[in-house]
Amino acid sequence: MRLLDLFCGAGGAGMGYHRAGFEVTGVDISPQPNYPFKFVQGDAVDYLISNWSSFDVIHASPPCQAHSALGKGTNDNSEDYPDFLEIVRAVLQMTGKPYVIENVAGSPLNDPITLCGEMFGLKVIRHRMFESNTGLVQPVHVKHRGRVAGWRHGVKYDGPYFAVYGNGGGKGSLDEWREAMDMPWAETKLEIAEAIPPAYTQHIGEQIHASYQ
């Protein structure tokens, strides 16, 4: 089955679908030299409108800053960020294809499941929400084991998780981030910070694959 990975970044989501048995093509407006599968540089929405019929399943991770806690923080500038969610959903529903939309906690997704790194034994918490028209099942959300490691307000904390966002000052090395997110091919912290762990979409992809067998 062919899967279209929109707003693909460095391929965290794409790798999970690949592990679930899909042939993956990624699309992103920015160059992604380390994307591990076929890559098309271009506008994701335009590509979706023109090429949706060539794919069996479509995944979209539209930019999340407009809905993230950081974007809606004390110095709220969330209105400065593009919000593609509604138009992406409208086009995906028009196609009639199985689809998945991923975004951060707090985003206006329809009846989403929430995935957490602890569900898959990862060294990140990284809650992410997934809307789909395929009836996804969420694993049990087990209790977190402790703190996120790193410096906060001049105090260094130990813990079983890494905070994978921003430039990573005091929050772990590039190699530690690669291991925590299971993204050994990534070359920069930025690539990892903008990704989701492949384990999330492998879990989703296996469910979608099973429903078509």
The three-point CA angle 39-43-47 to 5° equals: 70
pLDDT for the residue numbered 172: 82
Can you give the three-state secondary structure of 21-74, one letter per residue? CCEEEEEECCCCCCCCCEEEECCHHHHHHHHHHHCCEEEECCCCCCCCCCCCCC
The CA distance from 4 to 27, in Å, is 8
User: Are 71 and 65 in contact, with CB atoms under 8 Å apart?
Assistant: yes
188-205 residues labelled b (16+ CB within 10 A) or e (exposed): ebebbbbbbbbbbbbbbb
Extract the tokens encoding 148: 């996120």
Q: Are strands 148-152 and 161-162 parallel, antiparallel or unpaired?
A: parallel
**Which fold would CATH assign to domain 2-211?**
Rossmann fold (3.40.50)
Q: Work out whether the CA dihedral 17, 199, 132, 109 comes out positive or negative.
A: negative
pLDDT for the residue numbered 72: 47
**Would you write out the chain's pLDDT as a tens digit for each of its 213 residues?**
999 999 999 999 999 999 999 999 999 999 999 999 999 999 999 999 999 999 999 999 999 655 454 444 445 554 555 678 999 999 999 999 999 999 999 999 999 999 999 999 999 999 999 999 999 999 998 888 876 776 666 767 677 788 888 765 557 889 999 999 999 999 999 999 999 999 999 999 999 999 886
